Amino acid sequence: GAGVSQSPSNKVTEKGKDVELRCDPISGHTALYWYRQSLGQGLEFLIYFQGNSAPDKSGLPSDRFSAERTGGSVSTLTIQRTQQEDSAVYLCASSLVLSSALFPQYFGPGTRLLVL
């Protein structure tokens, strides 16, 4: 079956612009996760959704970052007024349910964001 997909694959933007990154989880997966991978910080957890709800937003780096999930499926990560330090690979993952770590997280190919 289809895996987690993300779009765009690569995004180049100018400092100060807003960007939207999209994630399509595996069909039927109720839990969805966003991570950021950068040279300086390694792999950082950003946020997770159980259904359309995000109980813990404390991993988002700043208030310029927001995420939503609609219909229990597609999620969008929005970065407003992008800064050069936002340049990174943004990875999305999904799992069947949140409530058990026996259901592992499956990752998408990521979106590489470059802020000039």
Distance between the two ends of the chain, CA-based, in angstroms? 37
> Which string of x and - marks every residue 1-30 that binds other proteins (by CB under 8 A)?
------------------------------
Q: Which of 7, 13, 38, 50 binds other proteins (CB under 8 A)?
A: 50
* Comparison of 59 and 80: residue with beta carbon closer to other proteins: 59
Q: How many residues bind other proteins (CB under 8 A)?
A: 27
Contact flag: residue 40 with other proteins (CB under 8 A): no
* Comparison of 9 and 83: residue with beta carbon closer to other proteins: 9
Distance CA 21, CA 111 (A): 7
Contact flag: residue 42 with other proteins (CB under 8 A): yes
Choose among 27, 28, 46, 16: nearest CA to 111: 46
13 to each of 9, 20, 61, 95, 113, how far by Cα in Å? 13, 11, 19, 30, 8
Specify the 3-state DSSP secondary structure of 97. Answer: coil
Q: Is the peptide bond before 55 cis (omega within 30 degrees of 0)?
A: no
Q: Footprint of other proteins on this chain (CB under 8 A)?
A: 31, 33, 35, 42-43, 45, 48, 50, 55-56, 58-59, 89, 91, 93, 98-99, 101-102, 104-110, 112
